[in-house]
Amino acid sequence: SDGKIIAVIGSGLIGRSWAMVFVSGGYSVKIYDNQPGQSAKAITEIRKQLAELEEAHMLRGTLTASQQLALLSSYDDLAAALQGAFFIQECVFEQLEVKQSIFQDVERLVGPDVVLSSSTSCLVPSNVFSRVQNQSRCLVSHPVNPPYYVRLVELVPHPETAMTVMNATHALMTEVGQAPVLLKKEIDGFAVNRVQAAIIAESWRLVQDGFISVKDIDLVMSEGLGMRYAFIGPMETIHLNAPEGLEDYMRRYGEGFTRLLHSFGPVPDFCGAGAKSVAEEMYELIPNQEAQLEARRQRRDQLLRSLARLKKEQ
Ligand code: NAD
């Protein structure tokens, strides 16, 4: 990393997480937010989190919390924040117009080789970067929340993105301890949200159509499929589950999967009258009140921390 500078634009939940990931790898990180004082507040919050992580022996990288903190600086001025940076990670609101305009401004202020990377969850690169002149240095680096424990980053190219930019970003993400995957071309939802949508849709249909309770469909994942998916993906799963591997598996079970897939229903009604009973069943388990939701979020993050520790030992 050698004193190299990364600029993080937008200092909300994801901007702060990226800043922590990059300083853990020894990079200097300049944080910018267009709300005056917001990026300074982000550093105060990060200081607290780094101290807690150090205390819990969960700090990433080889530097101490105070060494990592010393790599951070905050800016209310975009040009000053971009000065000297070789890589820009944008983390502003998920609104196309906001992202398009920030990248237009950024391009005017940085050299031609600086990589422009967006954290967008739902917007494709050809839209996000439509106002950038040199699109060969643009890509989406989509993290999963919370990125400090869930290491996956989807790298999604613009149709014009140079392979060297994809490879350099892959190397950067690996160096700072993330687990990057490369999309070969852009698609709505990338890979994570497409797979997630498939799981959520079928879970929702099974509940809504009266086959299983909300509580039990969640157990299907947390006590069943999820146990292996934290370590082995669906492709390796099928490869291992037949004596002669993947083709053997599909000879045995492919017909059954095809039959099941043809029986999947249409896109569920997520917000209409039919959604009410699903929501009410969930509120019985976990009331939709701030205190209860926050307690469950903390439990989730605690569990993810333990899982991250376990995965590190593998
Ligand atoms: P957030 O609302 O917590 O933070 C956004 C920050 O950007 C705010 O501090 C805001 O002041 C700042 N901002 C807004 N417009 C700006 C501008 N023009 N210039 C500079 N700063 C500006 O949002 P978040 O949850 O951190 O999400 C940021 C991005 O990361 C979004 O694109 C989101 O889709 C993506 N993302 C979020 C998650 C998640 O779980 N929250 C996961 C993956 C990706």
Mean pLDDT, residues 237-256: 97
Q: Of the given ranges (70-74, 145-149, 168-172, 217-221), which has the lowest mean pLDDT?
A: 145-149
Predicted confidence (pLDDT) at residue 273 exceeds the cutoff of 90: no
186 pLDDT band, cuts 50/70/90, is: very high
Average pLDDT, the chain: 96
pLDDT, tens only, 91-145: 999 999 999 999 999 999 999 999 999 999 999 999 999 999 999 999 999 999 8
274 pLDDT band, cuts 50/70/90, is: confident
Predicted confidence (pLDDT) at residue 1 exceeds the cutoff of 80: no
Mean pLDDT, residues 181-194: 98
Cα 124 to averaged position of ligand 1 atoms, centre (Å): 16
| Gap between the Cα atoms of 15 and 295, Å rounded | 23
Cα 9 to averaged position of ligand 1 atoms, centre (Å): 9
Residue of minimum CA distance from atom 16 in ligand 1: 92
Cα distances (angstroms) measured from residue 91 to each of 33, 102, 143, 220, 261? 9, 10, 10, 34, 37
Which of 8, 14, 297 has most ligand 1 atoms within 8 Å of its beta carbon, as the pocket-test mutant? 14
Cα 14 to averaged position of ligand 1 atoms, centre (Å): 6
Predicted confidence (pLDDT) at residue 250 exceeds the cutoff of 90: yes
Q: Which domains does the chain have, with CATH numbers?
A: 5-182 (3.40.50.720), 195-226+269-314 (1.10.1040.10), 232-266 (no CATH)
pLDDT, tens only, 32-52: 999 999 999 999 999 999 999
Count Cβ atoms below 10 Å from residue 65 Cβ, excluding itself.
Answer: 18
| Gap between the Cα atoms of 100 and 103, Å rounded | 5
CB 119 within 8 A of CB 178: no
Atom of ligand 1 nearest to the CA of 92: 7
Candidates 158, 151, 195; CA nearest to 173 is 151
So what's the pLDDT on residue 20?
Answer: 98
Mean pLDDT, residues 4-29: 98
156 pLDDT band, cuts 50/70/90, is: very high
Cα 221 to averaged position of ligand 1 atoms, centre (Å): 29
So what's the pLDDT on residue 309?
Answer: 87
CB 3 within 8 A of CB 71: no
9 vs 308, more confident:
9
Predicted confidence (pLDDT) at residue 16 exceeds the cutoff of 80: yes
